[in-house]
């Protein structure tokens, strides 16, 4: 088998045509580490590009909606609700959480991940002139519901 044929055999979407549509939800969390000076500027509304947390929330919602465009083997899903929260956590963190819900044949985990990552990247973009060392930390799925696997919640310690 040529390398091309072998690669093609693994590059396909999962067939979900026969799966039932169920109510589904996924929640992800992540963090952005910044300097204490930058965190203070965010809290005081003194970042030159504007409101960092509001922009991050909007970016996260937009990211969730674009997930299947960004990830080539990810199914487009019918999102019915997205919520993204972004808040400061002294001394040096921005905490981000995204919840995505809808009814479809496949889950919303990738949409929740993408929402968190996009929101976090938006924070980094907005503060990079003040803090080129800011970084994304610990983007992880914390809960999912629906489908064959039912309800899953990450253990508190992991």
Q: Is 125 assigned a catalytic role?
A: yes
What would you report as the CA-atom Rg of the chain, rounded to the nearest whole angstrom?
18
CA distance 74 to 130: 35
Q: Which of 23, 104, 125, 155 is catalytic?
A: 125
Angle at the Cα of 75 from the Cα atoms of 108 and 118, rounded to 5 degrees: 55
Nearest by Cα to 24 from 112, 156, 95: 112
The residues carrying an active-site annotation are 125
């Amino acid at each position: 088998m040529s390398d091309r044929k072998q690669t093609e055999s693994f590059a396909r979407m999962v067939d979900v045509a026969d799966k039932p549509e169920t109510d589904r939800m996924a929640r992800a969390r992540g963090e952005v580490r910044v300097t204490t000076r930058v965190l203070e500027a965010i809290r005081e509304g003194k970042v030159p590009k504007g409101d960092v947390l509001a922009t991050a929330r909007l970016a996260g919602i937009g990211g969730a909606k674009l997930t299947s465009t960004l990830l080539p083997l990810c199914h487009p899903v019918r999102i019915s609700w997205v919520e993204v929260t972004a808040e400061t956590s002294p001394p040096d963190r921005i905490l981000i959480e995204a919840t995505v819900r809808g009814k479809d044949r496949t889950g919303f985990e990738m949409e929740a991940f993408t929402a968190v990552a996009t929101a976090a990247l938006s924070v980094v973009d907005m503060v990079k002139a003040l803090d080129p060392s800011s970084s994304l930390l610990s983007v992880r799925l914390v809960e999912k519901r629906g489908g064959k696997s039912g309800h899953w919640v990450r253990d508190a310690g992991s």
